[in-house]
Amino acid sequence: MRIVAGVCWWGRSWWGAPGSYGKRRGDVQRLAPGFALALIGLVLIGWGGAAAAGDTIKIVALGDSLTAGYQLPASAAFPSQLEKALNEKGLAVTVANAGVSGDTASGGLARLDWSVPEGTDAVIVELGANDMLRGVDPKVTRKALEDIVRRLKARNIEVLLCGMQAQRNLGPDYARAFDAIYPELAAANGLILYPFFLEGIVTDPKLNQSDGLHPTAAGVGVIVERIMPKMEELIARVKAKPRPKS
């Protein structure tokens, strides 16, 4: 089901805006096999470079186009900006970009194993925006996110869960059910929660692209700045765990 709304949940008009964060799902599905191989290659290259550092913490950002960096150069995407900011703080961290434009929580679950390779220490889960925009039953979104978390925890991987908020014009029942997914899932599983991934940018048109859905490079910078305390908490959790010697 594709929903085209007249007013976005932060009050901006978006008539004619695309019905998902990123490309249409069909386009992504046709590209998925090749994209998977390319992504795995990039992740492994990043991990190989990190291995020489010994204690480098390996993080994967698993998400949709908000993670992938829709219409942005690779260097301006969330994972790249986040890695740079962490490194500038003296933290030995790599952040691999496992964002797929148009992906849903179920899509992220389906590709979890190849998106998160062995040796990953932590995962940033940023999924659900496209579920909301398409009017997916919140129970389906919740179950997919629960399965992602369960499988990552089974692999002893720390998780930072990024929340999303439903558009208010989807109705109070939908908004209440959708918004509750993230805090409840985090509380039930002891996860670090960043309540709203787009916090601080949705009300500022200068920080959003013309579609009103995707942040500009400057907008991504704001996200990185605001999420930094949660990232430092995530890294502290990783460091507190016994790690196998390389």
Which residues are tagged catalytic? 65, 211, 214
- Rounded to 5 degrees, φ, ψ at 94 are -115, 145
Residue-wise burial string across 204-219, b where 16 or more C-beta atoms lie within 10 A, e elsewhere: eeebbeeebbbbbbeb
71 vs 83: CA distance, rounded Å: 19
147 vs 166: CA distance, rounded Å: 21
Cα of first residue to Cα of last residue in the chain, in angstroms, is 48
The CA distances from residue 233 to 155, 193, 206, 214, in Å, are 19, 10, 30, 26
- What totals of helices (H) and strands (E) does the chain contain, helices first? 9, 5
Q: ∠ CA 67-17-205 to the nearest 5 degrees?
A: 70
**DSSP alpha helices (H): ranges in 155-246?**
172-189, 217-240
CA 148, 149, 154, 158 dihedral sign is: positive
